[in-house]
């Protein structure tokens, strides 16, 4: 046990309350109303907290990419309201919700997140993303702005929100009944910032939380994302399929942090990992087949393009033949292709190849907990990540499976903490408290 060594950070993605796989809502034991059942979502949060996971993560975005007649919408019903419910019924786990920098007013969003931070006693994080799809813009009767505008606004939004968060300084709130001093004289500052895209006078009348203010998180991977996250974020939730790519991404974010005079260890890079945990590979594959069978025709079609060979939807039970394996050429346009071919070469049937999750958004573990632990250890020890954000197949039992089957192995290997280090999200991440805009980045002008 290497108890003083750096440990893996782990987040849990709760999403719409069902889980990531299209059939999750129909699984036995799953409340088909999980989408609107806050008891269910609170219970899932508590399960993740039982495993000492560092934070819950709610992405957010358009609900249009799914066939709503047979599947639930992808996003959570309302990430802020759900987090408020969860905040009151958990104690230590961090609470990261996504909020668009493109389609929110800084004052409104700053207030919601600071209130969440205060009500959770210092456990909030804001995933500050730029909205990038026309579907999202249409919710607002608008078009997606250019990349330049989106990121220009994002830089201003984060600065403004942090300034608003800092408008009551660390020691501003005295609330001394004896001498009638509610706040310290002169300690509450208007901010009066007006940028090119957004402005606010402040002050925001919310005192500091136990960690000062919410943690900035960013989901993205482009050069613009490096710049934004390097400047402001303590957490990056990434999407990456290989150790080499993850290492390069992590380095890009750390280098960007240095450019803004920050300590690169203050920015933690999280790779995604999807899980179907079961007692053995076969049981896990069967579970995934049950969850995704309706999507098989489109997945077979897609796999053909990934491998550059024709595949027969009527031969799902058969492994690829020697000719197919010989002719297969992993597509250079899809970073998952090499892994898909590796699985195919292991001799699995076409159905099982797909059930390995070779066409999912992140690397997928389909098997016993030790396979997840091995994957995490390998990436972590290769310097590719600081942590992982886990997306279970079915929340109802997939969170418990991770907590019961993966966490203990990581702990035994000295790779995961035995308990929360502190009371706040920042304490548990190992990043400093913050009050207002980080002075180190003040001298760096918006580009």
Binding residues for FMN: 60, 98, 151, 222
Q: Is 85 in the site for a second copy (CB under 8 A)?
A: yes
418 binds, among ligand FMN, a second copy, none (CB under 5 to 8 A by kind): none
Among 50, 132, 139, 239, binds a second copy (CB under 8 A): 139
Q: Which of residues 26-65 bind ligand FMN (CB under 6 A)?
A: 59-61
DSSP three-state, residue 163: helix
Q: Pick the stretch among 130-138, 209-217, 393-401, 433-441 that binds ligand FMN (CB under 6 A).
A: 130-138
* Site mask for ligand FMN (CB under 6 A), range 75-114, x = bound: -----------------------x-x--------------
Among 132, 290, 349, 377, binds ligand FMN (CB under 6 A): 132
Q: Which CB atom, from 77 or from 187, has the smaller least distance to ligand FMN?
A: 77
**Contact between 358 and 337 (Cβ < 8 Å):** no
Query: Look-up: residue for tokens 């070779």?
Result: 358
* Site mask for a second copy (CB under 8 A), range 102-121, x = bound: -xxxxxx--xx-xxx-xx--
CB of 377 to a second copy, least distance (A): 38
Q: Which CB atom, from 160 or from 228, has the smaller least distance to a second copy?
A: 160
Among 133, 147, 294, 321, binds a second copy (CB under 8 A): 294
Show the DSSP H helices in 15-146 as ranges: 38-50, 79-87, 106-119, 134-139
Q: Is 184 in the site for a second copy (CB under 8 A)?
A: yes
Q: Is 129 in the site for ligand FMN (CB under 6 A)?
A: yes
**Contact between 170 and 441 (Cβ < 8 Å):** no
For the chain, helix, strand, coil in percent to 5 are: 40, 15, 45
Between CA 187 and CA 121 the distance in angstroms is 22
296: number of CA atoms within 13 Å, CB side? Answer: 22
CB of 13 to ligand FMN, least distance (A): 10
**Contact between 349 and 319 (Cβ < 8 Å):** yes
Between CA 213 and CA 292 the distance in angstroms is 41
Instruction: State the pairing for strand pair 199-200/193-194.
Output: antiparallel
Burial of 386 (0-12, 13-18, 19+ CB in 10 A): buried
Q: Which CB atom, from 65 or from 318, has the smaller least distance to a second copy?
A: 65
What does the block give as tokens for 316? Answer: 């799902």
Burial of 107 (0-12, 13-18, 19+ CB in 10 A): middle
**Contact between 268 and 386 (Cβ < 8 Å):** yes
- The kind and range of the H/E element at 232 are helix 223-232
Give the DSSP letter of residue 133.
-
* Site mask for ligand FMN (CB under 6 A), range 184-223, x = bound: -----------------------------------xxxx-
143 binds, among a second copy, ligand FMN, none (CB under 5 to 8 A by kind): none
Between CA 354 and CA 296 the distance in angstroms is 8
CB of 201 to ligand FMN, least distance (A): 16
* Site mask for ligand FMN (CB under 6 A), range 234-263, x = bound: ---xxx------------------------
Residues that bind a second copy (CB under 8 A): 25-26, 32-33, 35-36, 38, 42, 63, 68-73, 75, 77-78, 80-82, 84-85, 87-89, 103-108, 111-112, 114-116, 118-119, 138-142, 175-177, 180-185, 188, 193-194, 198-202, 205-207, 294
The residue ranges that bind ligand FMN (CB under 6 A) are 59-61, 98, 100, 129-132, 147, 219-222, 224-225, 237-239
């Amino acid at each position: 046990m290497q108890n003083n060594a750096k440990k893996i950070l782990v987040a849990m993605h709760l999403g719409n309350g069902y889980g990531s796989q299209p059939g999750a809502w129909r699984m036995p034991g799953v409340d088909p109303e999980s989408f609107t059942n806050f008891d269910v979502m609170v219970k899932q949060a508590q399960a993740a907290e039982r495993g000492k996971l560092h934070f819950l993560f709610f992405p957010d975005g358009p609900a249009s990419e799914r066939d709503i007649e047979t599947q639930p919408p992808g996003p959570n019903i309302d990430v802020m309201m759900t987090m408020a419910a969860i905040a009151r019924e958990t104690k230590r786990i961090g609470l990261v919700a996504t909020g668009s920098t493109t389609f929110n007013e800084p004052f409104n969003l700053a207030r919601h997140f600071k209130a969440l931070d205060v009500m959770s006693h210092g456990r909030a994080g804001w995933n500050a993303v730029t909205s990038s799809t026309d579907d999202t813009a249409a919710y607002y009767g608008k078009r997606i702005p250019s990349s330049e505008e989106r990121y220009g606004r994002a830089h201003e939004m984060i600065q403004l929100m942090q300034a608003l968060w800092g408008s009551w300084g660390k020691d501003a709130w005295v609330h001394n009944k004896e001498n009638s001093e509610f706040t310290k004289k002169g300690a509450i500052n208007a901010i009066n910032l007006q940028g090119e895209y957004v402005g606010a006078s402040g002050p925001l009348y919310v005192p500091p939380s136990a960690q000062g203010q919410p943690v900035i998180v960013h989901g993205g991977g482009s050069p613009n994302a490096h710049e934004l996250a390097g400047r402001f974020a303590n957490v990056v939730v990434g999407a990456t399929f290989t150790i080499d790519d993850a290492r390069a991404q992590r380095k890009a974010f750390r280098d960007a942090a240095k450019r803004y005079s920050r300590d690169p260890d203050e920015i933690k890079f999280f790779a995604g990992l999807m899980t179907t945990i079961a007692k053995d590979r076969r049981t896990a594959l069967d579970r995934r087949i049950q969850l995704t069978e309706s999507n098989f025709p489109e997945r077979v079609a897609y796999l053909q393009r990934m491998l550059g060979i024709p595949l027969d939807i009527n031969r799902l039970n058969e492994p690829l033949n020697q000719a197919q394996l010989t002719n297969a050429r992993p597509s250079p346009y899809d970073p998952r292709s090499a892994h898909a071919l590796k699985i195919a070469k292991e001799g699995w049937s076409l159905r099982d190849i797909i059930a390995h999750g070779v066409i999912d958004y992140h690397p997928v573990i389909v098997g016993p907990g030790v396979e997840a632990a091995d994957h995490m250890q390998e990436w972590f020890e290769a310097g590719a990540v600081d942590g992982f954000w886990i997306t279970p197949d079915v929340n109802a039992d997939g969170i418990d499976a991770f907590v019961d089957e993966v966490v203990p192995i990581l702990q035994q290997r000295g790779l995961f903490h035995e308990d929360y280090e502190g009371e706040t999200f920042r304490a548990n991440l190992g990043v400093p408290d913050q009050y207002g805009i980080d002075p180190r980045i003040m001298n760096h002008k918006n580009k």
